[in-house]
Structure 1
Amino acid sequence: MEGKKEKTFKFVIVGGGIAGVTCVEQLSSQFPSEDVALFTAGPLIKAVTNYKQVSRTMEEFDVEEKPSSVLEEKFPNLTVIHSAVKSLHTHSHCVETADGRVFGYKKLCICSGARPKLLTQENPNVLGIRDTDSVQVFQKHLSKARRIVIVGNGGIALELVYEVKGCEVIWAVKDKAIGNTFFDAGAAQFLIPSLEANKAEVAGPCKRLRYTMEEPAPDAAQTFTADKYSRGQNPGTVEPGSALGPDWHRGIELQGAEQVSHRVSVEYQCEVEQIFTSEEFLLSSKQTLEADTGSWPVYVQLTNGKTFGCDFVVSATGVIPNTEPFVHGNNFLLADDGGLQVDDHMRTLQPDVYAAGDVCTACWEHSPLWQQMRLWTQARQMGWYAGRCMAADVLSESIELDFCFELFSHVTKFFNYKVVLLGKFNAQGLGSDHELLVRCTKGQEYVKVVLSRGRMVGAVLIGETDLEETFENLILNQMDLTSYGEELLNPNIDIEDYFD
């Protein structure tokens, strides 16, 4: 490999997503006279725009696709190489591209992201949604569709079921409630009315309750009130979810072939048993269809025994880290979720090789208030921090773990409500050692606080609550709130005045 190197760069970053681009910006601006290279398979890169630091740990930004020339114009020391990486040779510090060229690096950061976990590779009527290209394919299919089945319970599934119009949607979720990656059954109950055809919900009275174990049974008919909740078990760990980006569906017409406005039916606690083409389905005479006649391009059999015919299936069941060309012939350690293991300086096991974003798994000892979820905010934070760690290494400086890894925070929008998640918002890893305070005003807001030993460790805020900064401070200070009791969420008390 040695003799064939076309050029050696001080820094090489692989991947034109948010993590890679943020890392490139960090290094190119800090070392204006060093050669930096960005390897990306497509002509467009993902750029962070309208960045706002909302509070100490919360941030908001848009993600835009731009031609890579925008980056090269901004940083004269940057070279963008439009090619996928075919192989990595860590011993000789070089990468080989799909078109057979070889480049050396002094320091490398792998930011190759993740790809959707597809239910099946075989059937053309099963679509995964991950990036802008796949959304366009989805749009094209949708315009001719009368019914689709959406499988999955993360961010993309939540956004799709709400945005799709003119088409019947069957939504298969493996949990007892919708949106399990992001919130509990109570929040799900609060959001469910938004899916009904009549979206003009009347704001009801404020309901407040306190319960020590997690979930009210999400039976569709049940109203979520203070006197009616069951002491269920805590849900298990939260799986990583990944979305296309904040507001990715803005300006995209998600319109089906029918005139119906919004028909969503949710099938709870089930997964996909089998997917049939129309030919296979005809041959398997033992199948009974749910409320159906006529023939469909694809049929989905669920583990709850129901089978639905539909125009196509959307597989929104999480992601798999893209570690492919990098692991062959190299000694990387992979985490249980398939990501490249990185330490608290974003370093992999291989010398001079770092990783950031969805491709990596944070394997340092986490702050008790932080967890990794494969989200845009974390891709940006990791890319930025990886760039700083690479720089510190080159300059032989020491660097502390960035403050953004102190407290998990995520600001997003679901069903047209602002959603803020803080800390252990779903009581992740707390076992039964916690209690929850909830305040809910139908159609307006849902506020949930997770307390452990009298201290706030997490929160879910849906709607315009204006509580996020106060709660962020209470979680970071770990102040003992025992004396406040349920008054903490009393809507008649201006809690900000207490804790400013």
Structure 2
Amino acid sequence: MADKIAKRSKFVVVGGGIAGVSCTEQLASQFPYEEIVLLTASPLIKAVTNFKQVSKTLEAFDVEEQPSSIIEKKYPNVKVIQSVVKQLQAKEHKLQMENGKELHYEKLCLCSGGRPKLFTHHSSHVLGIRDTDSAQEFQKRLSKAKKIVVIGNGGIALELVYEVEGCEVIWVVKDKAIGNTFFDAGAAQFLIPSMATEKPERATLYKRTRYTTDNAAPPCTPSAECGVQNQDSGSTKKLGSALGPDWHEGIKMKGAYEVSRRVHVEYQCEVLKVYTAEEFLNSQHEAQQSPQPSPDPSSGPWPVYIQLTNGKTYGCDFVVSATGVTPNTDPFLQGNNFAVADDSGLKVDDHMRTSEPDVYAAGDVCTACWEPSPMWQQMRLWTQARQMGWFSARCMAADLLDEPIELDFCFELFAHITKFFNYKVVLLGKFNAQGLGQDHELLIRCTKEREYVKVVLRQGRMVGAVLIGETDLEETFENLILNQMDLSPYGEELLNPNIDIEDYFD
């Protein structure tokens, strides 16, 4: 934008990820004659496409990366400004941008997402996968790799380990089972055989247009949806917003090795130290007088070696850090009085308001600090980013118009649908008995290579469920959790495969 913005914009949204774009689109629809300003560091934004309301609370959609010009064409009252936030002056209702310009607002929504929580920032051999550019860098490195190490146990790690072919994978998880964030050890055991079998052929080709950005920062450095000022160097990382749930589609995940797929999991351990090849050889030479854990016997030397807390050492071509994200609050805290949660997110109330007047937040950057429904918890997932972005726009509108608004029904029950290891996965309510202590019981039904069904009961009432495979039980279980029907009379027959429970509780 050529000229400095002198006027006060009624609505400004920071962040081009799902939360920011959902908020912007909702505001643009509610206020068609007001200019809505979307501030983003990247020329690409994330848009929800193919949205489908599966049930009352379950929703499925694709995430498509698009040039920011598309949202401006769709909503003529949206103005996209590509720039990085340098500082927020909340009392003055003003944003200072990196290019020296100022942006004034009446209502501001921060949707700046999160930045990768890399276990080390001091090695060029450690790659964090966060956005399109880093995913493409991963593809480039993988094409020449025979062995990689993946650190982490969340969604990206699960997808990556399953998708990679032609490369040996050492998977380091700090938990007793894979996928600890999403399911229990039983579900993990159901999925593990999939790592040793051939992946099924894709039913359809991936036809979505892919866009890239120019002049990207190195992909192993932190990134964020609005850009983040590096506190150490003063430089700014201008990578795009987080990857979509189908980020690996259209990316060739093939290494340089003849082996189709070989995954070895190291449980209950973390990275103790990272060595270059030279450092590792020197350390081995110095330790010759005292026995040390031997490196793996594979061919080497490798560009990088990692020593684990269980005493084992592995050499590899590069390391993928998939250990989650940290809320990207850095550009906003200095000089302001934001209440910050223990997980570093901006605290928001049930109107998505932060502690600073007229400043709202949604998505990964915020932490829900209202009294939640007994069946809901915040998890920084795509579904919640969309819901929070949409709801924050409605709250901004209601507060501006001085109208009452109640917490949306989507916050009544945690509900998430995704895919892991080529299985449909549905998570409902307290699916992992979160916060229930010993006050619960589990019912499980498992059919090898077909389905895994787990329900969580408390005092005879269903409070959570995990559904893996094509079970067609999600809507029935959703209703049972919401209406809190006493299921005690049914006992274990509740999961009897010979009973059509869907019709029974219709």
Question: TM-score by structure 2 length?
Answer: 0.89
Does residue 1:294 correspond to 2:300, yes or no? yes
Q: CA deviation at 1:197?
A: 4.1
Q: Which residue of 2 aligns with 1:278?
A: 277
8 Å CA contact 1:9, 1:35 repeated in 2? yes
Rounded to whole Å, the distance in 2 between the matches of 1:439 and 1:428 is 20
Q: Which residue of 1 aligns with 2:219?
A: none
Q: Which residue of 1 aligns with 2:44?
A: 44
8 Å CA contact 2:148, 2:317 repeated in 1? yes
Rounded to whole Å, the distance in 1 between the matches of 2:244 and 2:458 is 32
Does residue 1:490 correspond to 2:486, yes or no? no
The aligned runs of 1:132-281 (5 Å cut-off) are: 132-197=132-197, 244-281=243-280
Q: CA deviation at 1:259?
A: 1.2
The counterpart of 1:464, out of the listed 470, 479, 498, is: 470
What amino acid sits opposite 1:437 in the alignment?
A: L
8 Å CA contact 1:243, 1:375 repeated in 2? no
Deviations 1:290-313 (A, max 9, x none): 233420011011111000000000
8 Å CA contact 1:155, 1:243 repeated in 2? no
8 Å CA contact 1:197, 1:263 repeated in 2? no
| 1:146–1:10 CA distance, 2 compared to 1 (3 A) | same
Q: Which residue of 2 aligns with 1:217?
A: none
Q: CA deviation at 1:199?
A: 6.4
Q: Which residue of 2 aligns with 1:107?
A: 107
Rounded to whole Å, the distance in 2 between the matches of 1:393 and 1:23 is 15
Secondary structure (helix, strand or coil) at the match of 2:493 reads helix
Does residue 1:455 correspond to 2:461, yes or no? yes
Q: Which residue of 1 aligns with 2:231?
A: none
Q: Which residue of 1 aligns with 2:421?
A: 415
Rounded to whole Å, the distance in 2 between the matches of 1:76 and 1:196 is 51
Deviations 1:32-66 (A, max 9, x none): 11121000001011000000000000000000011
Rounded to whole Å, the distance in 2 between the matches of 1:337 and 1:394 is 30
Does residue 1:321 correspond to 2:331, yes or no? no
Rounded to whole Å, the distance in 1 between the matches of 2:403 and 2:297 is 67
The aligned runs of 1:342-421 (5 Å cut-off) are: 342-421=348-427
Rounded to whole Å, the distance in 1 between the matches of 2:243 and 2:491 is 40
Secondary structure (helix, strand or coil) at the match of 2:394 reads helix
What amino acid sits opposite 2:45 in the alignment?
A: I
Q: Which residue of 1 aligns with 2:235?
A: none
8 Å CA contact 2:20, 2:389 repeated in 1? yes
Does residue 1:96 correspond to 2:96, yes or no? yes
8 Å CA contact 1:38, 1:78 repeated in 2? yes
Secondary structure (helix, strand or coil) at the match of 1:308 reads strand
8 Å CA contact 1:148, 1:314 repeated in 2? yes
8 Å CA contact 1:197, 1:261 repeated in 2? no
What amino acid sits opposite 2:433 in the alignment?
A: A
Rounded to whole Å, the distance in 2 between the matches of 1:107 and 1:45 is 21
Q: Which residue of 2 aligns with 1:308?
A: 314
| 1:32–1:358 CA distance, 2 compared to 1 (3 A) | same
Q: CA deviation at 1:198?
A: 5.5
Q: CA deviation at 1:8?
A: 1.6
Secondary structure (helix, strand or coil) at the match of 1:439 reads strand
Rounded to whole Å, the distance in 2 between the matches of 1:294 and 1:252 is 28
Q: Which residue of 2 aligns with 1:213?
A: none
| 1:24–1:83 CA distance, 2 compared to 1 (3 A) | same
Rounded to whole Å, the distance in 2 between the matches of 1:59 and 1:322 is 26
8 Å CA contact 1:17, 1:45 repeated in 2? yes
Does residue 1:436 correspond to 2:442, yes or no? yes
What amino acid sits opposite 1:83 in the alignment?
A: S
Deviations 1:118-144 (A, max 9, x none): 011110110011111110010001000
Deviations 1:312-359 (A, max 9, x none): 000001110000110010000111111000000000000000000000
What amino acid sits opposite 2:168 in the alignment?
A: E
What amino acid sits opposite 1:367 in the alignment?
A: S
Rounded to whole Å, the distance in 1 between the matches of 2:129 and 2:246 is 14
User: CA RMSD, aligned part only?
Assistant: 1.3
8 Å CA contact 2:17, 2:242 repeated in 1? no
- Structure 2: stretches of 5+ with no match in the other structure: 201-240
Q: CA deviation at 1:248?
A: 1.7
Q: Which residue of 1 aligns with 2:209?
A: none
Q: Which residue of 1 aligns with 2:72?
A: 72
- Structure 1: stretches of 5+ with no match in the other structure: 201-241
8 Å CA contact 1:281, 1:299 repeated in 2? yes
The aligned runs of 1:111-130 (5 Å cut-off) are: 111-130=111-130
8 Å CA contact 1:247, 1:413 repeated in 2? no
Q: CA deviation at 1:249?
A: 1.2
The counterpart of 1:481, out of the listed 483, 487, 492, is: 487
Rounded to whole Å, the distance in 1 between the matches of 2:165 and 2:43 is 32
Secondary structure (helix, strand or coil) at the match of 1:284 reads helix
Deviations 1:381-433 (A, max 9, x none): 00000000000001110000000000000000000000000000000000000
Deviations 1:423-481 (A, max 9, x none): 00000000000000000000000000000110000000000000000000000000000
Rounded to whole Å, the distance in 2 between the matches of 1:109 and 1:247 is 26
Rounded to whole Å, the distance in 2 between the matches of 1:394 and 1:262 is 55
Rounded to whole Å, the distance in 2 between the matches of 1:396 and 1:381 is 22
Does residue 1:331 correspond to 2:318, yes or no? no
Rounded to whole Å, the distance in 2 between the matches of 1:184 and 1:290 is 30
Rounded to whole Å, the distance in 1 between the matches of 2:177 and 2:40 is 38
Deviations 1:12-48 (A, max 9, x none): 0000000000000001111111121000001011000
Secondary structure (helix, strand or coil) at the match of 2:92 reads coil
What amino acid sits opposite 2:138 in the alignment?
A: F
Rounded to whole Å, the distance in 2 between the matches of 1:275 and 1:44 is 34
Question: TM-score by structure 1 length?
Answer: 0.90
Q: CA deviation at 1:6?
A: 2.8
What amino acid sits opposite 1:158 in the alignment?
A: L
8 Å CA contact 1:115, 1:321 repeated in 2? yes
What amino acid sits opposite 1:282 in the alignment?
A: L
What amino acid sits opposite 1:272 in the alignment?
A: V
Q: CA deviation at 1:246?
A: 2.1
What amino acid sits opposite 1:467 in the alignment?
A: L
8 Å CA contact 1:61, 1:246 repeated in 2? no
What amino acid sits opposite 1:253 in the alignment?
A: K
Rounded to whole Å, the distance in 2 between the matches of 1:137 and 1:404 is 36
Secondary structure (helix, strand or coil) at the match of 2:19 reads helix
Q: CA deviation at 1:245?
A: 2.2
Rounded to whole Å, the distance in 2 between the matches of 1:25 and 1:263 is 44
> Which moved further from structure 2: 372-381 or 245-254?
245-254
What amino acid sits opposite 2:414 in the alignment?
A: F
Q: Which residue of 2 aligns with 1:237?
A: none
